[in-house]
Amino acid sequence: MRPIRTGIATSSKSSRMRVVALMASIMLLALTLGAGTALADSGRHHVDAQSTFTKWITAFPNQPGDVADMVGVVGGAVGKGTYAGEILKFTPGTVSVIEALYHFTGSRHAFSALVHIEQTGATPGSKAVISGVVTDGWLKGSPVAGKYTQITCNPAPTITTCYQGTLDILRGFGD
């Protein structure tokens, strides 16, 4: 009497093992890519909104401690609109340090931000970096980062110095 075979034929068993191995590899790859994406994204800052601006100073302080007023135009994520600002503190130097309030009022969004600026130089072509936080309006509480370049312009008969740049509202901190 011949023994009864209860196992799977070798060729079927081999095919099933290959399918199982392939499925396991695909699942492992999917998990690895997902984890890699999460790790690569962890702690990064996301730019949710980039607004552009061109500004100029309209009122210079008469005495130390006085506020300087700024006006201008905005665009980008906020939409076309107006810029208003106040220089709260100005410390001149090779790198001038400025504390200011920026107000962007665009056709789509409006916000105010308290910013810290470090500007290197004081001639056309001079650059500045901006950091701060949205204090009111759209995306309140979000950090901001930006930059500007000092340029020669003529928006009004007596104004020849302007500052053109971008201000990014960042999200994804601790989300």
What pLDDT score does 11 carry? 53
CA dihedral 86, 92, 97, 100 (to 10 degrees): 0
pLDDT, position 20: 41
Residues 130 and 120 sit within 8 Å (Cβ to Cβ) = no
CA atoms within 13 A on the CB side of 165: 23
Give the chain's mean pLDDT: 79
- pLDDT, residue 94, reads 94
Q: pTM of the prediction?
A: 0.70
Please check whether residue 52 is in contact with residue 147, taking contact to mean a CB–CB distance below 8 angstroms.
no
Contacts of 117 (CB under 8 A, 6+ apart): 96, 97, 98, 99, 100, 128, 129, 130
User: What's the confidence (pLDDT) of residue 82?
Assistant: 98
Predicted confidence at residue 175, as pLDDT, reads 36
pLDDT in tens, 3-38: 555 555 555 555 544 544 434 443 433 333 343 333
Residue pLDDT tens, the chain, 175 long: 555 555 555 555 555 445 444 344 434 333 333 433 333 444 444 557 999 999 999 987 667 677 889 999 999 999 999 999 999 999 999 999 999 999 999 999 999 999 999 999 999 999 999 999 999 999 999 999 999 999 998 766 678 899 999 999 997 553 3
